[in-house]
């Protein structure tokens, strides 16, 4: 293969996409298993699982858009919107269960006042828990994280298709790179986070560095290996 300026641009796009995924995971409010029992604030599942669910829905939207246009911006935007729709539908229906079935007021245990609505939080936190439900700040943070994940997934997918013109293989490779960055970020936040207002969010530079190293290696492999199979 020819290693020209375009190849370097493709690699840079993959790296930026990977970094967006890594940072985006920090925005997604996940409480892990305790949140499924209304013992912790956020969505009751794992970080990687939710980030992958939303980011890859965005990848499906981006793949559809890329089949009709080569313009980068609509592809990135539709990837972000697809991911945001998935994340918001999930959080909204989860909120229905918290509000109308389990019966808990939404409260964050990490801040005294919600930075967006300015509602007080500690009086609503039940003893023996670290908050419950999905307050507005977590919801907005999750939407931002989904947008970043969607843009990141689309940004990894776009150059791969440009290189090998094979959507199926590019999608599988994009899923792989997405998973690597999401898992690295998940280790950084130790599995749970409430969103950008959580003190753990300040640890993002560590994830940034590790995702950068991992994605550089993956980007080199991606641009070298894909033309061999891209028939």
Partner 1 sequence: MDAFGMGLVAALGALATVAGASEDIESDVGSQSNPNSQVQLAAQVGNPHRIYNKAIAGEPPSNALWCATAAIMAYVLIQGYHMPLLFAAAAGASLAALFNGVMATSAYLGRNASQARFNQWVYLDIIRYTTPSIMAHVWITSFCIVLISIIQVYILTPHHPFPIPVIALIWGLTVGAVGSSVGDIHYGGEREFQWRLFGQGLNTMLSGQIVRKAEAGLRNSIDNAWFCAKFGGPCTGMGFGLTVFLDNWRTTVFDPVNQAGAAIAMGVFFVIVMNLYNFYCELSARRKYGPYPGYKGDIAA
| Nearer to partner 1 (CB atom), residue 133 or residue 152 | 133
Distance between CA atoms of residues 19 and 101, nearest Å: 38
Tell me the window of 11-19, 65-73, 186-194, 196-204 that interacts with partner 1 (CB under 8 A): 65-73
With CB under 8 A as the contact rule, the residue among 10, 139, 158, 196 that binds partner 1 is 139
Q: Rule CB under 8 A: is residue 140 a binding residue for partner 1?
A: yes
Q: Rule CB under 8 A: is residue 230 a binding residue for partner 1?
A: no
Q: Rule CB under 8 A: is residue 52 a binding residue for partner 1?
A: yes
Interface map 146-185 toward partner 1 (x if CB under 8 A): ---------------------xx--xx--x----------
Tell me the window of 13-21, 97-105, 184-192, 220-228 that interacts with partner 1 (CB under 8 A): 97-105
Q: Rule CB under 8 A: is residue 226 a binding residue for partner 1?
A: no
| Nearer to partner 1 (CB atom), residue 6 or residue 120 | 120
Q: Rule CB under 8 A: is residue 69 a binding residue for partner 1?
A: yes
Going from the C-alpha of 171 to that of each of 5, 63, 153, 161, the distances in angstroms are: 23, 8, 9, 9
Distance between CA atoms of residues 206 and 217, nearest Å: 17
- CB neighbour burial string for 76-92, b if at least 16 within 10 angstroms, e if fewer: bbbbbbbbbbbbeebbe
Specify whether the backbone of 171 is left (phi greater than 0), alpha (psi in -120 to 50) or beta. Answer: alpha
Q: What is the DSSP string of 36-55?
A: HTTSBSSBSS-HHHHHHHHH
Q: Compute, in degrees rounded to 10, the torsion defined by CA atoms 189, 193, 195, 197.
A: -90
Q: Rule CB under 8 A: is residue 191 a binding residue for partner 1?
A: no
With CB under 8 A as the contact rule, the residue among 10, 106, 173, 196 that binds partner 1 is 106
Q: Rule CB under 8 A: is residue 38 a binding residue for partner 1?
A: yes
Q: Residues binding partner 1: what is the number (CB under 8 A)? A: 84
Q: Which run of H or E residues covers position 108? A: strand 107-108
With CB under 8 A as the contact rule, the residue among 125, 212, 216, 225 that binds partner 1 is 125
Distance between CA atoms of residues 106 and 180, nearest Å: 32
């Amino acid at each position: 293969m020819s290693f020209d300026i375009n190849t370097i641009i493709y690699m840079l796009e993959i790296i930026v996409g990977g970094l967006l995924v890594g940072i985006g995971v920090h925005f997604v409010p996940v409480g892990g298993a305790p949140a499924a029992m209304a013992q912790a604030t956020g969505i009751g599942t794992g970080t990687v699982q939710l980030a992958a669910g939303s980011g890859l829905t965005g990848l499906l939207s981006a793949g559809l858009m890329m089949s009709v246009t080569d313009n980068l911006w609509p592809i990135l935007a539709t990837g972000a919107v697809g991911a945001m729709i998935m994340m918001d539908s999930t959080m909204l229906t989860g909120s229905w269960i918290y509000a109308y079935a389990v019966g808990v007021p939404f409260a964050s245990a990490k801040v005294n006042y919600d930075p967006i609505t300015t509602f007080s939080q500690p009086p609503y936190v039940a003893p023996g828990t670290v908050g419950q439900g999905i307050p507005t700040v977590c919801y907005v943070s999750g939407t931002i994280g989904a947008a970043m994940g969607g843009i990141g997934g689309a940004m990894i997918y776009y150059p791969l298709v440009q290189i090998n013109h094979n959507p199926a293989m590019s999608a599988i490779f994009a899923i792989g790179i997405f998973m690597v960055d999401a898992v690295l970020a998940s280790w950084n936040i130790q599995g749970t986070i409430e969103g950008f207002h959580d003190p753990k969010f300040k640890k993002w530079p560590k994830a940034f560095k590790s995702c950068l190293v991992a994605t550089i290696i993956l980007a080199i492999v991606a641009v070298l290996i894909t033309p061999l199979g891209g028939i």
